[in-house]
Structure formats: structure tokens, C-alpha cells
A and B are shown apart, each in its own frame.
Chain A
Amino acid sequence: MRKLIVSPAPHVHGNESTRKIMLDVIIALAPSMLVAVYFFGLSAIMLLAVSVAACVGLEYLIQKYMFKKQPTVSDLSAVVTGVLIALNLPPTAPWWIAVIGAVMAIGVIKMTFGGLGHNIFNPAIVARVFLLISFPVIMTDWTIPTSWFRPGVDAVTGATPLALINEGLAQGQTVEQILAQHDLSYGQMLFARVGGSAGEASALALIIGFIYLLVRRVIRPHIPVTIILTVAVMTGIFWLIDPTRYTDPLFNILTGGLLLGSIFMATDYVTSPMATKGMVIYGIGIGVITVLIRYFGAYPEGVSFAILIMNSIVPLLNKYIKPARFGKEVKHA
């Protein structure tokens, strides 16, 4: 007697898998990784390697020896977290900073909630914020990118553009004066000539990754676009009111990890809303909180905090913001 498989429909599958999605995210991060390696050389390679190894290793050990389950590190989600942590560190950070970040991200944020799919907060962002608060000196020691291929030139340390603006404003300078003094231009921000973490050095590399994610349909544009639009509108209003105290919208979009955060961190499946309307609210919320922190908070940046705050209300958004249903409800007599 012939054996046939009998199971309910559908009988075919679209062949999408968690591993393929994570691989696509890693590919989308590749331009930023390459830029980091190009400008920061061995230190960037070291941070990436240590961070990824620590995340994958920790996840493996926790799943195998604490959960006593078959480890699922082959789904590559820990690799993505590792890359994101490394790209959020100053390129000159010591290797153990990456390990502490990995312990926080994987050990505390991801695994204590039950692993992939169960965490409320984005692991890489919690790691960044934890390190920023715990090691403020190391975490704000930014190196202005100089070429690895010109070893004669010493790396120049400096602050990020947003920090420079805040410092300058505190000294009574206007935005225009500050920009001129520090030779900050949009070209530099696009092509990585300003200070910042390894991943936010080049806006162009991040945008290439964004386009790749959209083309591969890994993410939809709603979250990044609403964040960027909200920041543009809000900073635009401030800028129109007083251009001597406030930077223009484009400056705000290209700096402070806004692109890295909105493209790669805010779109994290697990910690972002499921329905389109929820995504839009989430994006607007991140944009508003980012601008409020930048202009009125203690930190010059703020995307990370904004994402974490909005992460915390995602379960509420999923509960109360439902997708548009097909067809109207009819009253039954």
C-alpha cells in the first residue's frame, strides 16, 4: 500500500524563513559594516567579531544549558543583534564593552523574556543605552573617521555633530557659526566624515541597506518613513521659528543615529507593531520623542530612548489598534 501525506490545506509554502529574513538584514547592514571597516580598520573588525561571537555564544549557551532546548542560533537573529551592537559603539571602544553589550542584549533582554519573539524591548538598543549610561566616557569618545589606508594621519577625536551643536549653543554661538567652525556639511554626513558610532558614520550606506530591505520586502517603509517625516516636520517648525538656535531638518535626519535607528532598530519585527496603523502611530511617537529629547532633554541624540519608550507601548498598540477589516459589520436582527 502506497503511503501518501494527508494534511489540511494549504499544501505549499512560500519558502520564507526566519533565517532568510535575518540573512537579508545582515546583507542590508553590509554596506555600513564595510564603511566602518574602511574608516576604522582593525578596531571595527574586532568590535564586530567580538560582538557577534558574544551574542551567538551567549544565546547558544543559555538555550542549551539553561533552557535545555535545541539551540536555534542558526536562525541568525543573534548575529543581527551582534552586528547592531557593534555598529552602535564608538569605533575606538575596547572589546569588553561589546561583551557587556551582548550580555545585556542577549542575556538580559532577549533570553529572560523567553528568546526570539518574546522580548518587549529591542536588545541592541537596550545594550546601547545601558552602555551609554554606565560608561559615558567610553561611549562618547567619538573618533572622526580618517582613512585606514593613510596610516600617517592620526585619528582625530571629537564629538558628534549634535553634541557639537549643543556645546556651541551653550557658548552662545549660532548654528551657522558652529557648522562653519567644525566644517560640518551634508556631503560629509552622507559619505562618512563626521564623528559618531561605527554604524552611523555614513548615511548613504544606511540608505542603501534600507533600499535593499524594501526591495526584498523584509520591512515595509511605514515605520522609518513616519519617523523621518515626523522629525523633519517638527525640527522644520523649530528651524523656521529660529534658525540661529535650531538646525534644519536635513541636518537632524542625517545625524544622531536617526537613520540607523529608524531603518534597522525601530523596524525590529518583535518589538514593533503588527498592523499598519499601529506602525504609523509607533513611528510618529518615536519621531516626536526623539525631537523632544534632542531639544529639551539631557542627551544630544535620543533616538534610542525614543524607540525604547515606544517599544513599551507596542503591546498596547497591538491590542487596541486593529487592522482594517474587510467589509462592514452588519447588524443582525
Chain B
Amino acid sequence: MRRTFSMGGVHPNDCKISADSAIEIFPLPQRMYISMSQHLGAPAKPLVQRGDKVKTGQMIGASAGFISANIHSSVSGTVAAVEPYADLAGNPVMHVVIDVEGDEWEESIDRTPDTVREITLGPAEIIKRIADCGIVGMGGASFPTHVKLSPPPGKKAEFLIINGAECEPYLTSDYRLMVEHPEEVLLGARIMMKALGVTKGYIGIEDNKPAAIEAMRKLTSSAYTEIEVVPLKKKYPQGGEKQLIDAVTGRKVPSMGLPIDTGVVVQNVGTSFAVYEAVQKNKPLFEGVMTITGRCLPAQHNFLVRTGTTFDRILEHVGGVPQNVAKIISGGPMMGKAVSNLSAATVKSSSSLLLLTEDQTLRRAESECIRCGKCVQACPMGLEPYLLNKLSRAGRMEDLEDHKVYDCIECGCCMFTCPANIPLLDYIRTGKADVMRIMRSRPKK
């Protein structure tokens, strides 16, 4: 029996229609919009002004706190503006706008195609390099990687798990990296293991990606024996941090706890690749693989896209947005964000643009709850979504807290499975936000 997480989960059609499209290099646009807030935590402080010349890979935003990250220019050219620019939801965020001229890289970056296998840096230097290069989690939350690699005092990591689950339907960027650059991904893992001082690593891959499992196994059976490939039974949300740790090690992250409480650090495949490039090639994080997909598109793509490319530009490149598209999603269909502003630009962790037609994304009219309990069975956190929905609508914050709304990972399984089309997660999410705010406002004992 293939391993998987122990409770809940759903089986959406995986729709990996872009799986066989090799990574193509996306052409440089004329103008780049580089956000200063591409990570969880404090926005970076812009280091350049209008009129400054910048090179590809040059730092243009400085980390503004422990939980923050540096930002690097993804192109060479002239800074046209440092000003607020609307993000994908239309909210103004500080951006550095660059008019692209040529593609002149910082000399310190190793642009040779060779794979650098020898790891010369020590643990502290690795973490410093990762911080300098502005690496953040590529799985979606964009948590600064150097923070995750520095466990708080008293906590010790035992394992590193590389997240190759890619459980969201449609997404194939991690899959392409694992198939096309397996050794770089494993080297990234080895580097992070050195930084953490752990000797055992795992890479969890869902069994709908046999080519990735095979590519990784070929290497882990010979040169990378400290890393074990763990094929996982396909189930959403396997790529959730808590679910992946459960699936791979059987350990359960405590309620309100962190992965490190179980002695595990999880990093995404894309992050591992970025760590390799930062540490071995001295290349800051300014580009990433994005899946551009949708059944309505004439062709499916995986592009290596420089950070700051606008969605408009990408969509234009693939032939424009087909007439029947009703929703464009940044990320996967289960947890991604609906884009309301197509002139917004990509960020470090942008993993995809997914185009859905109206019938693929239709929200049907809500009917009465028939108390089927499918949401309870589907919840990977063992919560009662039907009840949380009702409590949230009634504004019963204490009851919501008693029923552990704060444990909700917002995976959407409940809403996906609900036969009455009740927008469960919409209400649970707002209730959770309220409860978390109340909990944070309490005086610390």
C-alpha cells in the first residue's frame, strides 16, 4: 500500500494536461514590474531610484526584518519608476518598474550549464547565502526559506522532506523540474540538509508522476543515498505541509504547532532548485517555472518566467485569452487566487496561470445542508466544516474557537465535496480570520 496522509482528503481529476510540455524560456518583456512584497512578512525596502541602471541579479530591495526577503532585479535596464502598482487582486503594492535593455547579468553569477556537485559552504554560510539571494518557499506561502532553515532555540530538525507532491490539479511546474533537473533538486536538498545538520532526507512524490519518481530513484540509488524517494498515493491535499509530514513519516504536527515540533522541515521542489542555484551558482531568485494551462488553450506550456513579467504579456504570448474563459487563476484550482487584474506581474512563487471556462468553475446555487457528513469525512484536519460554516454565519466566535477553526488549512476539500453547493470555506475562512484576530489580541499570560 502506497503511503498517504491519514484522514480526509478528496480526489479531484488531476488534469495534468501540461505534463509533457518541456520547460521553455519565456522571452524577456520590454517592461518589468517587480513587487517589493513577494514573500510572507515585511515588504522589502527599495534600494534603487528612477533613472538607475540595474543588472540582472542585482539586489533592488532589501529585506526589512527577520521575516522578510531580499528582492533582485530579473532584468537589466533602467529603473522607470518606484511606485505603487496594482497586484493580482488590484491592491496597490510598492513595485520597482524597469525598462528592459539587453540582458546583462551580474558577473558574480555562474551562468555555465555545468552541475556543481561539491558543496563548499558551511551551514551558517549556506543560510546566509539563501537569505542574501532572497529565496522564499515556492509552494505558495512564500515563507522566507532562511527562516525555515533556522529552527528556534530548543527545536532540532531530524529530517528534511522535499515536497514533490504537487497535489493541485493542473500544475506541472514541479513535475517538469523533477524530470528535467532531478540532480539539481537533490543537490538543493543536500545543501539544506547540511544547513540543518540532518542526515536523512525524503522526497515525497505522488504516484501520478511515475517519470519523476523514476528520475529521482535513479539518482537516490547511487549518488544521493541519504535521500529516500517516497511514492505517495495520489490524494489532495497531500502537498499540505502537515499532510505531507504525516504521509511520509506518520508524525502529526500538533494543533497550533509547527512542522519543526515533529522534527521535520519541509521544502518545495522549486525551492530546492532555487537553493541549488543560489548556493552553487550564486544566482539570486528572480525566475521560476510557471505552468500556463487550461483546456480552452490551444497548447499547454511550462515556461521559465522572469519575476515581474505581467500576466497580460504571458497570456498574449500563448495566443491571448480565449473568448470562453470565465476565470483566470494564479495557482491551482483548489487554493489559487482568482486574478482580477491582468496587468499584475508575477512574483517569485508564481506557479501557474490557469484558465477556466464558466462550466468548469461554475458555483451552483446553494441548497439545504442534507447532513451527509461528506465534509467531515473530507476534512484532512478532522474538523466539522458543516458546523464551522453555521457557527461562522451566526457569528459565534467562542464556539468557533472551541471547534478549532484555527486548525483549518483552507484546502477547500469540504466545499469541493459538498453536494448542496454550500460555500463552506468562504464562511469558515472569515470566521477563522476573526477568531485568529481575537486570539492574537488576548494578553499573553
Contact = CB atoms under 8 A, between A and B. Distances in A.
A274 B373 contact: yes
B338 interface: yes
A73 to B, nearest CB: 12
A8 interface: yes
B412 interface: yes
Contacts of B12: 12, 14
Nearest to B15: A12
A323 B381 CA distance: 10
Contacts of B261: 330
A75 B369 CA distance: 12
A277 to B, nearest CB: 11
B218 to A, nearest CB: 34
A288 interface: no
B361 A11 contact: yes
A330 B370 contact: no
Nearest to A19: B419
A269 interface: yes
B167 interface: no
Contacts of A77: 370
Interface string B6-31: 11001010000000000000000000
Interface string A95-117: 00000000000000000000111
Interface string A319-333: 000111111111011
A326 B386 contact: no
Contacts of B383: 323, 325
B321 interface: yes
A6 interface: yes
A330 B255 CA distance: 6
Interface stretch (B91-99, B141-149, B193-201, B324-332): B324-332
B255 A327 contact: yes
Given A4-B327, A72-B367, A118-B368, A21 B253 contact: no
Interface string A169-192: 000000000000000000000000
A12 B252 contact: no
Contacts of B329: 11
Nearest to A75: B367
Secondary structure at the A interface, as helix, strand, loop or mixed, is: loop
A115 B327 contact: no
B412 A4 contact: no
B237 to A, nearest CB: 10
Given A117-B370, A270-B371, A274-B384, A11 B356 contact: yes
B340 interface: yes
A95 B113 CA distance: 84
Given A14-B417, A21-B372, A270-B371, A327 B253 contact: yes
B284 interface: no
Contacts of B380: 326
B412 A10 contact: yes
25 contacts: A5-B326, A6-B339, A9-B336, A9-B338, A10-B412, A11-B338, A12-B12, A12-B356, A13-B421, A14-B417, A16-B419, A17-B364, A220-B377, A269-B370, A274-B384, A323-B382, A325-B255, A325-B383, A326-B242, A326-B380, A326-B381, A327-B252, A327-B255, A327-B381, A328-B254
Interface of B: 6-7, 10, 12, 169, 242, 246, 252-257, 261, 321, 325-329, 331, 333-340, 342, 356, 358, 360-364, 367-374, 376-377, 379-384, 386, 404, 407, 410, 412, 415-421, 425-426, 429, 445
Interface of A: 2, 4-14, 16-18, 20-21, 72, 75, 77, 115-118, 220, 269-270, 273-276, 322-330, 332-333
The 3 closest A-B pairs by CB, nearest first: A10-B412, A117-B368, A325-B382
